[in-house]
């Protein structure tokens, strides 16, 4: 990787120490320019002229191919969505629920990964139970196993947890769930773009992910993987144009697409979905294995530096199998909001984490484009803040 060249493509890195890819990944000059080019092309030649339309639709389908290859799944299993929560809701309203059915989530879900299930609790009396996050695989799987019972219908977990960046053992979770006839959906917000993901190998039923974090693909575009076995079984909830064919009122018959496309509805921001494909191409050009290795080297440096600073309490896992680019720590009793503000005063952008708990802290997201000097600045800043809040 030519880090200098990479960093020149992300102007934000000259303006601040940007360590919040887990919030929103920065967009590159190349992608921002290409989005602008596409809008100018549509502006100058007409967004609905046949040539422009087919060019943009063709490029959107290129993104679908790239996404499917990136996750190692058939193209027919990928639907475009607008947010992770949209994928969650496709499942929430696509399965049939009875009072007393149970859904297992983790103790560390993002609102998008729990609110759709709490809505089912309020509507149908479904029970939402929580498994505690642990960085010991057996402890975690045993706890999960203990929670599974004859009423359990779905397990919904972040593949990588948002607050502390625990990478959960996805394949083992699916094996355990399927032995018990339970379906699994993963929230891939913090995983896609950080390390290689093979959904066939993982064996999940559904996977909902977004372009705007580690993929560096921009806001408002996301994807949803539905295991081919579920395409027929999942009920349609929201629908509309492009989900299938309506016979224009002759009999009012609707024939839905036979692929994951049946879960897509309504018009789209085509340039932004094209940008998601460009982002995947960019990541492919760097190599997702190289990205994973570089992130792991950076987080190792950060964690070992933090370990030497008084009052730092590490919240992210030590077990390497669970580690990701997310490094969350507390500093004594300082609230995460205040710690983040102190860091921001030093032009370092992290994000408050675990803010509603008594172990509140800051989340530092180290991405491949971050460098060692930036991490030294973090360590100096934490040292300095630790001294001033003794």
Residue 212 CB, shortest distance to ligand PLP, in Å, is 7
Instruction: From 210, 194, 216, select the one nearest 25 (Cα to Cα).
Output: 216
Q: Which of 101, 102, 135, 187 binds ligand PLP (CB under 6 A)?
A: 187
**In Å, how far are 175, 278, 361 from 59, measured between CA atoms?**
36, 10, 42
State in angstroms the smallest separation of the CB of 220 from ligand PLP: 9
Cβ atoms 356, 163 nearer than 8 A? no
How far is residue 64 CA from its own chain's centroid?
Answer: 17
343 is a contact residue toward ligand PLP (CB under 6 A)? no
Query: How does strand 361-365 pair with strand 351-353?
Result: antiparallel
Please tell me the number of Cα atoms within 13 Å of 61 on its side-chain side.
Answer: 7
Comparing CB distances to ligand PLP, the nearer of 275 and 379 is 275
Question: Which window, 107-115, 169-177, 230-238, 254-262, contacts ligand PLP (CB under 6 A)?
Answer: 107-115
Q: Is the CB of 67 or the CB of 190 nearer to ligand PLP?
A: 190
Distance between CA 171 and CA 243 in Å, rounded? 31
Asked if 336 interacts with ligand PLP (CB under 6 A), we say no
Among 21, 190, 227, 371, binds ligand PLP (CB under 6 A): 190
Extract the tokens encoding 87.
């994928």
Question: In the complex with ligand PLP, which residue's Cβ is closer, 158 or 340?
Answer: 158
Both structure tokens of 308:
């030497």
User: Does residue 344 come out as left (phi exceeding 0), alpha (psi in the -120 to 50 range) or beta?
Assistant: alpha
Stretch that binds ligand PLP, among 182-190, 197-205, 324-332, 356-364 (CB under 6 A): 182-190
Q: Which residues contact 144 (CB under 8 A, 6 or more apart)?
A: 104, 131, 155, 173, 176
DSSP label at residue 192 = B
Tell whether residue 106 is a contact of ligand PLP (CB under 6 A). no
Which H helix or E strand runs over 223?
Answer: strand 222-226
| Residue number with CB closer to ligand PLP (73 or 83) | 83
CB atoms within 10 A of CB 290: 12
Strand, coil or helix: 312 = strand
Nearer to ligand PLP, 112 or 134 (CB): 112
The stretch near ligand PLP (CB under 6 A) out of 78-86, 270-278, 320-328, 351-359 is 78-86
Binding flag, residue 162, ligand PLP (CB under 6 A): yes
Which of 84, 144, 272, 274 is the binder for ligand PLP (CB under 6 A)? 84
- Of the two residues 190 and 324, which places its CB atom closer to ligand PLP in the complex? 190
Where along the sequence are the contacts to ligand PLP (CB under 6 A)?
83-85, 110, 112-113, 158, 162, 187, 189-190, 210, 222
């Amino acid at each position: 990787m030519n880090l200098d060249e990479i960093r020149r493509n992300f102007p934000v890195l000259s303006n601040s120490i940007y360590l919040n890819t887990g919030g929103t990944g920065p967009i590159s000059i190349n992608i921002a320019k290409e989005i602008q080019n596409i809008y100018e092309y549509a502006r100058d030649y007409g967004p609905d002229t046949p040539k422009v339309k087919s060019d943009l639709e063709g490029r959107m389908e290129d993104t679908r191919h790239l996404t499917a290859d990136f996750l190692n799944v058939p193209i027919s299993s990928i639907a475009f969505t607008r947010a992770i929560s949209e994928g969650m809701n496709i499942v929430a309203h696509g399965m049939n629920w009875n009072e007393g059915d149970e859904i297992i989530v983790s103790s560390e879900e993002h609102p998008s990964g729990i609110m759709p299930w709490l809505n089912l609790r309020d509507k149908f009396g479904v029970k939402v139970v929580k498994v505690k996050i642990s960085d010991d695989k057996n402890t975690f799987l045993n706890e999960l196993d203990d929670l599974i019972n004859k009423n359990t219908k779905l397990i919904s977990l972040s593949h990588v947890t948002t607050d502390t960046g625990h990478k959960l053992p996805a394949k083992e979770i699916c094996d355990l769930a399927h032995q018990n006839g339970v379906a699994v959906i993963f929230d891939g917000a913090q995983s896609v773009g950080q390390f290689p993901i093979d959904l066939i190998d993982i064996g999940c039923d559904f996977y909902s992910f977004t372009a705007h974090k580690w993929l560096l693909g921009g806001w408002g575009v996301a994807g949803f993987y539905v295991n081919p076995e579920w395409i027929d079984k999942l009920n349609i909830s929201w629908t509309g144009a492009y989900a299938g064919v309506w016979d224009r009122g002759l009999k009012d018959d609707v024939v839905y697409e036979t692929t994951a496309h049946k879960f897509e509805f309504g018009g789209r921001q085509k340039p932004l979905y094209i940008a998601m494909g460009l982002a995947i191409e960019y990541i492919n050009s760097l190599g997702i294995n190289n990205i994973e290795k570089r992130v792991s080297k950076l987080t190792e440096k950060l964690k070992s530096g933090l370990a030497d600073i008084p009052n730092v309490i590490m919240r992210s896992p030590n077990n390497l199998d669970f580690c990701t680019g997310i490094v969350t720590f507390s500093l004594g009793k300082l609230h995460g909001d205040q710690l983040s503000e102190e860091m921001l005063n030093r032009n370092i952008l992290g994000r408050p984490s675990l803010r509603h708990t008594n172990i509140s802290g800051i989340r530092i997201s180290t991405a491949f484009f971050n460098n060692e000097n930036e991490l030294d600045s973090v360590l100096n800043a934490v040292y300095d803040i630790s001294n001033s809040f003794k």
